[in-house]
Amino acid sequence: MNDKAQRIRLRYPTRLALQGIGAALAAVSAAACGGQGADGDRTGLGPAQAALEHEFAVIQTVRELPDGRVLVADPLGQTLLVVDMEAGTTVTVGRVGEGPAEYRQPDAVWPLPGDRSLLVDLGNGRLTEMGADLSFGDTRPYMLGAFQMGAPIMLAIPQGVDASGGIYFQGFGMSAGGRVADSSQVLRYDLETEAVDTVASVKLIDRTRRTSGGAGNQNVSISPIPLSPADAWGVAADGRVVTARSVPGSGEFWVEWIAPDGEVTRGPAYAYSPVGIGRAEMEEWRDAQAETGGGMTIQVEQSNGNFDMRAGRGGAPGNDDLDSYQWPDSKPAFFQRIPVDATGRAWVRRHTAAGDAPAYDLFDASGTRTATIELPLERRVVAFGEGVVYVVRMDEFDLQYLERYGLP
């Protein structure tokens, strides 16, 4: 590679394309997808304990503080707020920027030991530790290792944390050279020792890969196949990893718990009726991307042999041509993210027909389904607190509102 500054933009979960720089650096793709499981004992959440009227652009997750207040990051609104659900008030923490006590795009907040918090700052490419008093402390890049041809891409952007401070993220199943795998690993990153361990293997969403151009200027385009089957996973506070798996075409799915020592507990198989994909389901998938901030753009800059990688949320499919995608015949069994509540139950969100109420199957530590929770329309679970579950409501203008319910 020459010393001229170069830039690559990767966007997912919609189409990804990157321009070759000598041998091409390949794009990363990931997409939320899901499926439908058979019903357990169906129940609702009941009335909300509190509903905040403050408007958010996007909420990925929230972090309940020891005093009951809630820390909320809004990546598109570029704000980090402390919320008092009872009083209905919000207070801004930090400001937009690149220096201390600043963030460029605060994407999520997670609990750390000692009443500390971890802020995922997508725009500045870093993880920031926050004290119990919400002061800003140490930062570190979320890109682990060197970005180089043939090396796996590892971005430690958490999908879960445990009570000891370990953060869990998923490998992209591809290297900087463009090789794409059909599976990847769930990885645990220790903030203290900086060690990275593999704790599980998961099937990824199906993807297509196209290559154009000639030697020295090769272009690679990688696109997900929306709603194709993939494994789901999440993390309990005690460090157990839960996965939901299915065999495409079998009409069954099951839940596995993987203990920190590697012991696997597999629950019984449950039948589900696949939901066929029509135009309404395609449009629902497109809208769901916007609800979670749209596609993530990964920008890689190379100058004088050095690489800098930063990510940002935005760039949802919008009015993208849905007919240009490759679609399976039916939805798979579940969404890919599994939140785990304070009692250790895994909430596996099913895919239902377009327009139906959101539904979550609850699984205990043996992998047995104990109940099915149905949420009101236009809502999704984002986090849990002490005896409560936090839910996001979306309105007709795509604005989001935080609600709190008693934990069933």
Residue 315's Cα: distance from chain center in Å? 16
78 burial class (0-12, 13-18, 19+ CB within 10 angstroms)? middle
In a domain, 182, yes or no: yes
pTM as predicted: 0.85
Does 308 have pLDDT greater than 60? yes
Phi, psi of 300 (to 5 degrees): -115, 125
Question: Among all chains, which residue has been given the structure tokens 């645990």?
Answer: 188
Which amino acid, 396? Answer: E
31 is a domain residue: yes
Looking at the structure of the chain, the number of domains it has is 1
Q: Is residue 318 part of a domain?
A: yes
Given this model, what pLDDT does residue 313 score?
A: 78
Q: Which of 218, 103, 117, 206 is nearest to 158 (CA)?
A: 117
pLDDT of residue 398: 87
pLDDT-derived band at 301 (thresholds 50, 70, 90) equals low
Average pLDDT over residues 368-390: 96
Q: What is the CATH number of the domain that holds 236?
A: 2.120.10.30
257 found inside a domain: yes
102 torsion bin: left (phi>0), alpha (psi -120 to 50), beta (else) = beta
49-97: pLDDT as tens digits: 999 999 999 999 999 999 999 999 999 999 999 999 999 999 999 999 9
Report whether pLDDT(242) > 60. yes
User: What whole-number distance in Å separates Cα of residue 150 and Cα of residue 287?
Assistant: 35
Flag whether 355 is in a domain.
yes
Amino acid 291: pLDDT: 82
pLDDT band per the 50, 70, 90 thresholds, residue 24: very low
**C-alpha separations of 32 from 165, 230, 295, 334 in Å:** 26, 9, 10, 10
Does 260 fall in a domain?
Answer: yes
CA distance 61 to 390: 9
Residue 59 lies in a domain: yes
**Can you tell me the distance from the alpha carbon of 103 to that of 136, in angstroms, rounded to the nearest whole number?**
10
Give the residue numbers spanning the domain of 79: 6-406
Residue 1 lies in a domain: no
Q: Is the pLDDT of residue 155 over 90?
A: no
> Average pLDDT in the 9-14 region?
40
If one counts every other C-beta atom within 10 angstroms of the C-beta of residue 310, the result is 20
Residue predicted with more confidence, 308 or 261: 261
Structure tokens, 102: 């600043």
